[in-house]
Amino acid sequence: MIHGARLQGRIDLLTSSLKRWDWLIYLIVSGACILAVSSLFYSSLRLQTLYSLLWNEPAQFDSVAQQDLYGDWSAPLDDVFIHFDFARSTARGYPFQWLDGHGYSSGGTSLLYPFVLALGYWVGFRGLALMVWAGVVASVSVLVVLMGGARMFRGLPAWTKYLAPPFLLCIGVLDWTLFSGMEVALFLGLWSIALVAWDDLLQLREPALARPLSVSLGIACLLCVATRPEAVPIVMIFSLSATVSVFRRFGRRRAVETLLFSALPGAALVVAQAVANRLITGDFTAAGALAKLELHHPYLTGSQVWEQWKIHVSYQLFRVTDYHLSSAPGVGWLLWMLAALGLVFRPTRKYALLLWGCAISWVLVVALNGQVRWQNERYTMPALAWLLLCAALGFAGLLTHEYRLRSLRIGAAVAGVAAVACFLFFQAPRFRDQVWFFGRASRNILDQHVRTGKVLSRVVKPTPKRILLSDAGAIPYAADLPALDLIGLGGYARLPFARATRLGAPGGLELIERLAPKDRPDTLALYPSWWQTLPLWFGRRFDEVPVRGNVICGGASKVLYRADFSSMNHSGVPFSASARRELVDALDLADIIDEKAHQFALHEGLGHLTMKLLADPNDPSADLWDAGRLLAPPARITFTLKGLRPHERAALLFRVAPEQQASFEVHLGEERLGLVELQPQDTWQEVPLAIPPGARGGPQRVRLTPRGGGFALYHVWLTQRR
Residue 499 included in any domain: yes
**How confident is the model over 577-592, as a mean pLDDT?**
84
Report the percent of the chain where pLDDT is more than 90: 83
Verify that 619 and 583 share a domain, yes or no.
yes
Residue 160 included in any domain: no
Give the pLDDT score at 474.
Answer: 96
Verify that 498 and 582 share a domain, yes or no.
no
Verify that 675 and 709 share a domain, yes or no.
yes
Give the pLDDT score at 608.
Answer: 95
Verify that 590 and 716 share a domain, yes or no.
yes
Residue 377 included in any domain: no
Q: Which of 44-53, 88-97, 550-559, 560-569 has the lowest mean pLDDT?
A: 44-53
Paired residues of 557 in beta bridges: 546
Give the pLDDT score at 606.
Answer: 87
C-alpha closest to that of 381 among 423, 435, 437, 319: 319
Verify that 589 and 535 share a domain, yes or no.
no
- CB atoms inside a 10 Å sphere around CB 40: 19
Residue 226 makes CB contacts below 8 A (sequence gap 6+) with 110, 111, 112, 269
Residue 575, classed as helix, strand or coil, is coil
Paired residues of 636 in beta bridges: 603
Residue 533 included in any domain: yes
pLDDT tens for 224-280 read 999 999 999 999 999 999 999 999 999 999 999 999 999 999 999 999 999 999 999
CB 428 within 8 A of CB 196: no
pLDDT tens for 318-343 read 999 999 999 999 999 999 999 999 99
Question: Taking the CA atoms of the chain, what radius of gyration do you get in angstroms?
Answer: 31
CB 372 within 8 A of CB 309: no
**Tell me, what amino acid is at 94?**
Y
- CB atoms inside a 10 Å sphere around CB 431: 21
CA 214 to chain centre: 31
Verify that 588 and 502 share a domain, yes or no.
no
Give the pLDDT score at 10.
Answer: 59
How would residue 466 be classed by pLDDT, with cut points 50, 70 and 90? very high
- pLDDT at position 597 over 60: yes
d(CA 271, CA 275): 6
Alpha-carbon separation of residue 677 from 22, 386, 564, 687 (angstroms) = 85, 63, 35, 9
pLDDT tens for 620-670 read 899 999 999 999 999 999 999 999 988 888 999 999 999 999 999 999 998
Verify that 605 and 534 share a domain, yes or no.
no
Give the pLDDT score at 71.
Answer: 81
CB 714 within 8 A of CB 687: no
Nearest 5°: the CA angle 331, 77, 57 is 115
CB 487 within 8 A of CB 290: no
Residue 667 included in any domain: yes
**How confident is the model over 682-708, as a mean pLDDT?**
90
The answer to whether the Cα torsion of 284, 289, 290, 294 is positive or negative is negative
CATH of the domain at 683: 2.60.120.260
**Domain that includes residue 643, residue range:** 577-720
Residue 277 included in any domain: no
How would residue 13 be classed by pLDDT, with cut points 50, 70 and 90? low
Residue 306 included in any domain: no
C-alpha closest to that of 216 among 248, 247, 194: 194
Report the percent of the chain where pLDDT is more than 70: 94
Of 568, 591, 614, the domain-final residue: 568
d(CA 459, CA 442): 23
- pLDDT at position 7 over 90: no
CB 282 within 8 A of CB 597: no
DSSP conformation letters of 475-507: HHHHH-S-EEESSSSS--TT--HHHHHHH-HHH
Verify that 585 and 604 share a domain, yes or no.
yes
Q: Which of 49-63, 77-91, 96-110, 708-722 has the lowest mean pLDDT?
A: 49-63
Of 538, 568, 598, the domain-final residue: 568
Compute the mean pLDDT over every residue in the chain, rounded to the nearest whole number. 92
d(CA 606, CA 612): 19
d(CA 623, CA 533): 14
How many domains are contained in the chain? 2
d(CA 214, CA 201): 7
- CB atoms inside a 10 Å sphere around CB 481: 18
Question: What own/partner pairs with CB < 8 Å and gap ≥ 24 does 345-352 have?
Answer: 345/394, 345/397, 345/398, 345/401, 346/155, 347/155, 347/156, 347/397, 348/152, 348/155, 348/156, 348/393, 348/394, 348/396, 348/397, 350/202, 351/152, 351/390, 351/393, 352/390, 352/393, 352/394
Verify that 552 and 664 share a domain, yes or no.
no
Of 547, 568, 589, the domain-final residue: 568
User: Phi, psi (5° rounding) for residue 604?
Assistant: 55, 45
Residue 126 included in any domain: no
Give the pLDDT score at 404.
Answer: 84
Residue 265 makes CB contacts below 8 A (sequence gap 6+) with 218, 219, 221, 222
Label the pairing between strands 467-469 and 483-485: parallel
- pLDDT at position 2 over 90: no
Most confident of 86-90, 103-107, 578-582, 690-694: 86-90
Alpha-carbon separation of residue 379 from 382, 417, 472, 553, 600 (angstroms) = 7, 30, 19, 18, 36
Verify that 467 and 547 share a domain, yes or no.
yes
Verify that 522 and 613 share a domain, yes or no.
no
**How confident is the model over 92-119, as a mean pLDDT?**
94
Verify that 593 and 649 share a domain, yes or no.
yes
